[in-house]
């Protein structure tokens, strides 16, 4: 199944996709947009040629497992995404994925503005990889 992962943020939203065999997760793009209806429209446009059968939206839980304001925003976003696209949307615990994405980019010496432009797509890849591991 083709799955599109979404790392939803206030200013940037990262997207990643897996192949039909669910073995390979790859970054798609980073959407630079703050207004949620526009973010959803841009996700729809990016998703159209990929034909995803499911979205996985990162749910940034607190370290104790509780859901704070950011997690509630992501849950509301995921619900709206599913309503606007008609594609099943799953929430997935994404604790520390952005931190891990920054570490991974540091290891390959990606810094500054270039890092800022790709870190959210890398975080989306990590969310998707974790989700895919749970499915197998």
Q: What is the pLDDT of residues 31-51, one digit of tens each?
A: 999 999 999 999 999 999 999
C-alpha span between 60 and 10 (Å, rounded): 13
Give 82-126 pLDDT, tens digit per residue. Answer: 999 999 999 998 866 666 665 665 666 555 655 556 677 888 888
Q: What is the pTM of this model?
A: 0.86
For residue 100, what pLDDT is reported? 63
Q: Does the domain made of 3-135 have the CATH classification 3.30.420.140?
A: yes
Percent of the chain with pLDDT over 90: 62
What proportion of the chain, given as a percentage, has pLDDT over 70?
82
**What is the structure's pLDDT at 116?**
59
Pick the closest to residue 12 from 124, 102, 103, 100 (CA basis).
124
Residue closest to 129 by CA, chosen among 1, 13, 29, 3: 3
Within 10 Å of residue 99's Cβ, how many Cβ atoms?
Answer: 11
């Amino acid at each position: 199944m083709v799955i599109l992962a979404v790392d939803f943020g206030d200013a940037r939203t990262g997207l990643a996709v897996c192949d039909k065999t669910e073995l390979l997760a790859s970054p798609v793009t980073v959407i630079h947009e703050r207004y949620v209806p526009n973010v959803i429209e841009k996700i729809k446009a990016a998703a159209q040629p990929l034909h995803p059968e499911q979205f996985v939206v990162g749910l940034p839980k607190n370290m104790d497992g509780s859901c704070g304001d950011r997690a509630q925003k992501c849950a509301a976003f995921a619900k709206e995404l599913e309503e606007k696209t008609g594609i099943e949307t799953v929430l997935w615990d994404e604790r520390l994925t952005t931190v891990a994405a920054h570490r991974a980019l540091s290891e390959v010496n990606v810094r500054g503005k270039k890092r800022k432009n790709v870190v959210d797509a890398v975080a989306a890849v990590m969310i998707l990889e974790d989700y895919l591991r749970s499915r197998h």
